[in-house]
Homo-oligomer: A and B are copies of this chain.
Amino acid sequence: MAAGNLLVAQGGGPTAVINCSLVGVIEEAKLFSNKNIGNIIGVLRSIDGLLDEDLIDLRKESQSTLKNICQTPGAALGSCRRKMKEEDYGRILEIFMKYNIRYFFYIGGNGSMHTAHKIDDLAKKNGYDLKVIGIPKTIDNDLEYTDHTPGFGSAARFIASITKEIGLDIKSLPTPISIIETPGRNAGWLAAASSLAKEKDGDAPNLIYVPEKIFSLELFLSDVENVYRKYGRAVVVVCEGLKDEYGQYLGGIKSEASKDGFGRNLPGGAAYFLSEKISEQLKLRARYEKPGLAARASMEYISSIDQHEAYQVGQMAVRFALNGNSGMMMTLLRNKGEKYRCKIGSVALESVAITEKLLPSRFINSKCNYVTEAFLNYCRPLIGNPIRSFQSLSAFKISKNSTVKKQNK
């Protein structure tokens, strides 16, 4: 295996722990200095920066910088939204040759895994010895072949925590209906994770809607009305990816400029749209919350397990490449047994790139308006420490007819 330099990049949307994977790569690679790995190079702005040869020397970063980077939101190297062109790959290979890059680690979601796969493929075709390893990352948890994706646990913890906190607020001053919108274009994992907020019947969330099931406004309104009749309030969690009968995002921003790099309309109005419908049709006061990017950027609700696993997949990716592997993405494989543990596995980049892991039907209830116990068991360990528990007053009632104890006068 050719000795040479290492290159690492971060692709797609950041997560709260994407920098832990970066630091995992750097710290592990340092252990193999002067053996197989020479320079440890970071690419700024992902593929955009790579094509500009916008490279930095990560070996020179101090220990304390690396430590603090793990606690910083955003992608420390920067990312991009590039729509790859065929000619980009050839150019990338030239740059790799110029800088004698022999190890390439790409931290990203399925778009990034597709790019990594193409680079690996081209290197092989050109007989250039390059080890390409994908490191999974996404809050959406939509990568196949891995039990879950680093980044999801922290976003899940954020969503479950604020659902619980908002639920207590709403309980003390009932707004009849409150709708919380979560990220997730096609996959409802984060909306589903809000279920970890519920301790007992009636607690928030009362209803959860995910894009995996066909959305019916009529059934939605009837569900909301039923919950309202029972509890006098309803906290409803909806995924931004809910679509109408024409396949358009509910309340999505329609203008051309807000399409994504792949020509898709942007979601982001489902809760607004549905709160208007509730208000118009059920004649109930409705409000909505859309924490949006805070779900992946907030560092206060982070999952310790998620941080640990994100670091670990970065670290293991380096070992895996040094063992001669290429064209693979690291995965997390959950042990059977009672106690939660994951070991690290791998899967071909090619397979991951073309799939999208949606919530399976066994995680969604038959009415398509909540999750199942099986989902709760799946999700609970991923958020690390349980979300905060809160206190209510014991509330010792004073009888209306009681003679209230009077004071010395």
Contacts and interface: CB of A to CB of B under 8 A. Distances in A.
Interface string A385-409: 0001011111111101000111111
Residue from the set A12, A166, A259, A393 with the largest chain B CB neighbour count within 10 Å: A393
Contacts of A55: 397-398
Contacts of A355: none
Contacts of A409: 2-4
A323 interface: no
Interface in A112-169: 161-162, 165-166, 168-169
Contacts of A170: 74, 293
Contacts of A65: 391, 393-394
Contact of A283 (B53, B62, B256): B256
A80 B233 CA distance: 13
A393 B42 contact: yes
A266 B78 CA distance: 39
A299 B389 CA distance: 11
B294 A165 contact: yes
B257 A172 contact: no
Given A62-B394, A172-B14, A253-B276, A407 B299 contact: no
A248 interface: no
Interface in A76-125: 76-81, 99-100
A324 interface: no
A79 B60 CA distance: 56
A293 B289 contact: yes
Contacts of A301: 300
A224 interface: no
B258 A406 contact: no
B294 A162 contact: yes
A407 B5 contact: yes
Contact of A79 (B2, B165, B172, B284): B172
A406 B69 contact: no
Nearest to A277: B255
B169 A74 contact: yes
Contacts of A210: none
B299 A388 contact: yes
A68 B173 contact: no
Given A272-B269, A294-B166, A391-B69, A173 B75 contact: yes
A171 B61 CA distance: 20
Interface in A304-341: none
A273 to B, nearest CB: 9
A44 B173 contact: no
B258 A279 contact: yes
Given A171-B74, A173-B75, A257 B272 contact: no
A299 B300 CA distance: 10
Contact of A253 (B39, B161, B286): B286
A268 interface: yes
Contacts of A173: 12-14, 74-75, 78-81
A77 B393 contact: yes
Interface of A: 2-5, 10, 12-14, 34, 36-39, 41-42, 44, 53, 55-58, 60-62, 65, 68-69, 71-81, 99-100, 161-162, 165-166, 168-173, 178, 251, 253, 255-260, 266, 268-269, 272, 275-276, 278-280, 282-294, 296-301, 388, 390-398, 400, 404-409
Ranked nearest first, the 5 interchain pairs of A and B with the lowest CB-CB distance are A289-B292, A38-B407, A68-B391, A74-B172, A74-B168
